[in-house]
């Protein structure tokens, strides 16, 4: 008469529980590593996006400038003071006066409704864009037909440069 097995033996049960436990431990490690990698990737992407946003801000200010850009390099050969009227605003102004200035090796963007030397009190919004700035230069193309402007920013860790072209 054949022997009929109605249940698992104790040894089979222990082996299956051990295998399931090992699978859970392995799965936990994989998910934990995935979560850690996602956090690291998110940090790197946010940092890169922050840098890109700063460059894009300068780019859009120059792209939408009106009349002329005034470049003052009399105080320091490596750091220009740039002022312009622009239709680009991050504070909801329709038409704003924007000044870029390096002070104590930090590049600041000053946005207001009037120029700095105007007698009328005005609200100014000041944003610090880059730290440890060693060079901040704006170059205009000498050819009157080509309305391009070259931006050069150098910090201790990196160099940022791009060209902005306007079409009239």
- Residue range 15-62, pLDDT digits in tens: 899 999 999 888 888 877 777 777 777 776 666 666 778 888 888 888
pLDDT band for position 77 (50/70/90)? confident
Q: Is residue 82 part of a domain?
A: yes
Number of domains the chain is built from: 1
Q: Is residue 91 part of a domain?
A: yes
- Burial class from Cβ neighbours inside 10 Å (0-12, 13-18, 19+) for residue 84 reads buried
Grouping H, G, I as helix, E, B as strand and the rest as coil, residue 128 is strand
Q: Is residue 90 part of a domain?
A: yes
Lowest mean pLDDT among 69-73, 79-83, 134-138, 164-168: 164-168
Grouping H, G, I as helix, E, B as strand and the rest as coil, residue 137 is strand
- pLDDT at residue 20 in the model: 92
Assigned token pair, 75:
């105080």
pLDDT band for position 163 (50/70/90)? confident
Q: Is residue 16 part of a domain?
A: no
Q: Is residue 61 part of a domain?
A: yes
Q: Which residues span the domain enclosing 120? A: 51-130
Q: What is the pLDDT of residues 105-153, one digit of tens each?
A: 899 998 888 766 555 556 788 888 888 889 988 888 777 667 788 889 9
Q: Is residue 164 part of a domain?
A: no
Q: Is residue 42 part of a domain?
A: no
Assigned token pair, 156:
């201790």
Q: Is residue 110 part of a domain?
A: yes
How is residue 119 annotated by DSSP? S
């Amino acid at each position: 008469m054949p022997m009929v097995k109605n249940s698992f033996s104790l040894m089979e049960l222990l082996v299956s529980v051990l295998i399931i436990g090992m699978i859970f431990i392995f799965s936990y490690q994989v998910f934990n590593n995935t979560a850690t990698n996602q956090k690291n990737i998110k940090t790197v992407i946010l940092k890169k996006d922050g840098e890109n946003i700063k460059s894009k801000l300068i780019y859009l200010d120059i792209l939408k400038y009106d009349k002329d850009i005034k470049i003052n390099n009399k105080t320091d050969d490596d750091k220009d003071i740039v002022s312009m009227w622009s239709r680009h605003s991050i504070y909801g102004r329709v038409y704003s006066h924007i000044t870029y200035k390096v002070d104590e090796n930090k590049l600041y963007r000053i946005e207001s409704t009037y120029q700095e030397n105007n007698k009328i009190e005005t609200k100014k919004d000041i944003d610090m864009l880059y730290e440890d700035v060693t060079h901040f230069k704006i170059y205009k193309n000498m050819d009157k037909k080509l309305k391009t402007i070259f931006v050069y920013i150098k910090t201790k860790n990196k160099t940022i440069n791009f060209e902005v072209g306007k079409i009239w």
